[in-house]
Structure 1
Amino acid sequence: MMTDAKIRLYVDHPLAGGQSVPLDADQALYLFSVMRLQRGDAVLLFNGRDGEWRAEVAEATKRRGVLICRSQTRPLSPSPDLWLLFAPVKKAETVFIVEKAVELGVARLCPVQTARTNADRLNRDRMQANAREAAEQCGATVVPEVEDLLPLERRLADWPAERRILWCNEALAGAATVLAGQARGPWAILIGPEGGFSPAEAARLAAMPQVVQASLGPRILRAETAAVAALTLWQSALGDWA
């Protein structure tokens, strides 16, 4: 009989009743050498398509293993249609932004290079792994996609007409008040770099009809704090917290 499942694992494999799920070497090492699972133990699996499934360890070695899906524990629960545009900062702070954005329920992570962005490169694979690990920990059934780092101007060049952007501009009215009058639908939140946007970037954003400007309060926030604050306000007003 299966023990209670205490571990969640993302797998890139179909999930259904009776479906066998092969593990790669890293997953087998984690489950059987690090977490000490054995045959008959339970694991919660999700793949971003088929919801969450309770699975049983059928085969277990140091380098490979097989799990068998037994029952669905949760249906697929996609995040709200919310993107986070953010300028990468220091490595640890960027990881923090990615992890907390997943926990707070974004659908896509879009790093942008601005005139005052200090980081000029981003390890997308590593950030995607951070997003996957955060989804495993927080109970999400979908892992947000991390996109390539793009210049802000290029990111905005073909911006969808229907997707509004919450631009966190500390010079303006509070975000909660501004969001209270907005409709649900496709949204993005834009968090700038340390030092803020250049005058040219600010003018470009202000001219976009999709942009909604708002402040995050009377104090200057670090980029990672601003991301958490903005996501919390949006989720409370327009997302799946409302």
Structure 2
Amino acid sequence: MPATPAWPPRSAPRLFVEQRLDQGAQVSLGGNQAHYLSRVMRAGPGDAVVLCDDQTGEWAARVVEAGKHAVLLEAVEQLRPREQVPDFWLCPALLKKDRFDLVLEKATELGVARIVPVLTRRCVADKLNADRARSIVTEAAEQCARTALPELGDVTKLDALLRGWPQDRALFFADELGGEPAAAAFAAHSGPAALITGPEGGFDDAEREAIGAHPQARPITLGPRILRGETAAIAATALWMGMRGDWE
């Protein structure tokens, strides 16, 4: 006797929705999400879709109606509660658009809880399209099966970030001039943490001094090579997740 296929199948599309989900809840999707389901994925009545609401978690849903401009779904059963992600913030300096897009995407995949874009003196970019950034992190969360979206903070000037820094959160400072080896620093610390990385031209002397003087700052080195801003942010985040995050 053939085995009963798993439901929902692993190939089912995944989408985040704004509506809070519950068993039997009906969700109407329009715009790009409706186009994706009906035109790209060719979803029709009865097909499975996995929905996440960033509140209750992950749900299996069935398509009730599928049209060109709207798709109606019904939540059938909860698959997973909203995950508890490690209490780790990433504070990357703004980079050129494509490079910062990569940071947003990979930080989401790696499990960062909060992303705070930082504006420094040597940043080539000085603005961030918040809607586009939110779309990038949402799509990344859908692709890597996260059930919790990272919080995306406003672009913040470095001096304002330091002034308002919480007293209970360590700020690991990726300093190209050196510091404690990152792995050792991460292993020695427990509790809320964050990482700040610099722009294409690095931090200037005044910024480096200001960060280093902050009581919560802990300068770290990411090895003998000078890394691009996006490489430093991604590599250090992965290392933290391996040492102190949910990769253990």
Specify the TM-score bucket, using the shorter chain as the normaliser: over 0.9
Q: 8 Å contact 1:3–1:40 — kept in the other structure?
A: no
Q: Deviations over 1:57-80 (max 9, x none)?
A: 001111112111111111110321
Aligned to 1:179: 186
Aligned to 2:121: 115
Aligned to 1:8: 14
- With normalisation by structure 2, the TM-score equals 0.93
Give the partner amino acid of 1:98.
Answer: L
Q: Deviations over 1:180-226 (max 9, x none)?
A: 2111x221110111221111111111111111111001111111111
Distance 1:167 1:121 in 2: 23
Aligned to 1:46: 52
Q: 8 Å contact 1:128–1:145 — kept in the other structure?
A: no
Can you give the 5+ residue segments of structure 1 that lack an aligned partner in the other structure?
A: none
Aligned to 1:36: 42
| Displacement after TM superposition at 1:241 (Å) | 1.3
The yes-or-no answer on 1:97 pairing with 2:103 is yes
Q: Percent identity?
A: 45
Distance 1:207 1:217 in 2: 22
Aligned to 2:224: 218
Q: 8 Å contact 1:10–1:45 — kept in the other structure?
A: yes
The yes-or-no answer on 1:201 pairing with 2:201 is no
Q: 8 Å contact 2:30–2:71 — kept in the other structure?
A: yes
SS in structure 1 opposite 2:117?
A: strand
Q: 8 Å contact 2:44–2:63 — kept in the other structure?
A: yes
Q: 8 Å contact 1:163–1:186 — kept in the other structure?
A: yes
Q: 8 Å contact 2:8–2:60 — kept in the other structure?
A: no
Q: 8 Å contact 2:8–2:50 — kept in the other structure?
A: no
SS in structure 2 opposite 1:66?
A: strand
| Displacement after TM superposition at 1:23 (Å) | 0.8
Aligned to 1:159: 165
Give the partner amino acid of 1:85.
Answer: C
Distance 2:180 2:221 in 1: 5
Q: Which runs of 4+ in 1 moved over 6 A?
A: none
- With normalisation by structure 1, the TM-score equals 0.96
Aligned to 1:26: 32
SS in structure 2 opposite 1:68?
A: strand
Q: 8 Å contact 1:77–1:141 — kept in the other structure?
A: yes
SS in structure 1 opposite 2:116?
A: strand
Distance 1:192 1:231 in 2: 14
The worse-fitting range, judged by mean Cα deviation, of 210-219 and 142-151 is 142-151
Distance 1:189 1:163 in 2: 10
The yes-or-no answer on 1:230 pairing with 2:210 is no
Aligned to 2:197: 191
* Number of aligned residue pairs: 241
Can you give the 5+ residue segments of structure 2 that lack an aligned partner in the other structure?
A: none
| Displacement after TM superposition at 1:25 (Å) | 2.6
SS in structure 2 opposite 1:97?
A: helix
Q: 8 Å contact 2:54–2:149 — kept in the other structure?
A: yes
Distance 1:192 1:3 in 2: 43
Q: Deviations over 1:61-109 (max 9, x none)?
A: 1111211111111111032111111111111111000000000011111
SS in structure 2 opposite 1:54?
A: strand
Distance 1:172 1:210 in 2: 14
Distance 2:200 2:101 in 1: 16
Q: 8 Å contact 1:194–1:222 — kept in the other structure?
A: yes
Give the partner amino acid of 1:172.
Answer: G
